[in-house]
Amino acid sequence: MLKVAGLSKSFPTPEGMTKVIDGVDFAVPEGECYALLGPSGCGKTTTLRCVAGLEHADGGTIEIGGRAMSDPARGVFVAAHERPIGMVFQSYAIWPHLDVFENVAYPLRVQRPRLQKAEIQARVADALALVGMQAMAARSATRLSGGQQQRVALARALVRRPALLLLDEPLSNLDARLREQMRNELREMIHKVGVTALYVTHDQAEAFALAHRVAVMWHGRIVQEGEPRAIYRRPETPFVATFLGAANVLAARLETRCNATEGVLVLGGSATARLLVAVPQGCSPGDALELIVRPEDVEVLCAPPQDMHNVTPARIAWMSFQGSQCECGIDVGGAFVRAMVHSAQDMHEGAQVWLRLDPSRCILFSKEG
């Protein structure tokens, strides 16, 4: 449904032209929700605005439903109002002088060819029913909560029955509790309608909950793309690993290679914290590496187990109570590891513990990444 190839865009700055999108390529099949995820300034919103026709790309092509929307090399540019899209902005862009019905009906009233009054009423009623706002059709926009405004904005985007739905951080203005609720509702609505969607966010939880596939952006490029579970578990760069949730990044040194695929690491310069892991090709004994492991993958034991394979002694440096769990900072021979333990476990600061790391959950990178 959506195909973006070689997309590039630069903006003028005091230092000259700065490239904010640098050769972005991705495709979104019909009925799939695709998320562009990354920190502020990575180019994700500019990419979405180029797809929407709100920005002119410098290069590359954009196709929706097989039709070229933007191709600067051939002089092709389809205006935003002529593209088969619906869009939900970060600010919602609800018109305060109109009631809920008229806010949703507006795209139908200005489109060409004009629709009959009965058709407009039927489409608006369907869109409002989809987002659970049919009882508030006559309510003034100034009397809507943040969550209700978000629903109205979504209904307005869907009322034209677009081929592609664009969402630019639509939940970022909501408080944490309402954001979680609306995230779940939005996922159900997108899947129920079956519309193809491009979702832009800096929030990992939103991207993982809503999207079939996620593209992580950094410095105007897509650095990794895949299903949420796959990119979380097998990040391809240290940036992706640390951006997608909490991660321990530990200095390590390859002590010995056991065979073609495995080797023994020493963590943090310690002589006791050793770990047998899969080692990338090209690594030699003595090489400096970075080991990345997520806090939930660190097992903390109160007593030494019978099987000491990949177990090392450690000490709890600090603990932070977080309800059902406690976050711990654990000193492993001078290297500090964050771990999550159940709050009912009998642990305290300064206690001797033992850490077990699952090699299949550990990821190694060279110092150069």
Secondary structure (DSSP) of 9-76: EEEEETTEEEEEEEEEEEEE-TT-EEEEE--TTSSHHHHHHHHHTSS--SEEEEEETTEEEEEGGGTE
Q: Which two tokens stand for residue 92?
A: 């919602």
pLDDT band for 335, please (50, 70, 90 cuts). confident
Q: Are the C-beta atoms of 260 and 339 separated by less than 8 Å?
A: no
What share of residues in the chain are helix, strand, coil (percent, to 5)? 30, 40, 35
Looking at residue 262, its pLDDT comes to: 76
End-to-end CA distance of the chain: 35
Secondary structure (DSSP) of 299-324: EEESS--S--TTEEEEEEEEEEEETT
Count of CA atoms in the C-beta half-sphere (13 A) of 102: 9
**256-273 residue pLDDT tens:** 888 777 777 777 655 556
Distance CA 218, CA 231 (A): 15
Looking at residue 50, its pLDDT comes to: 97
CA 335 vs. chain centroid, Å, equals 29
The H-assigned helical ranges of the chain are 44-52, 100-110, 117-130, 146-158, 176-193, 204-210, 228-233, 238-243
Residue 42 contacts by C-beta under 8 Å, 6 or more apart in sequence?
Answer: 217, 218, 219, 220
pLDDT band for 222, please (50, 70, 90 cuts). very high
Q: For the CA atoms of the chain, what is the radius of gyration? A: 25
Q: Are the C-beta atoms of 304 and 321 separated by less than 8 Å?
A: no
For the cut 90, the answer to whether the pLDDT of residue 230 exceeds it is yes
**32-44 residue pLDDT tens:** 999 999 999 999 9
pLDDT band for 170, please (50, 70, 90 cuts). confident
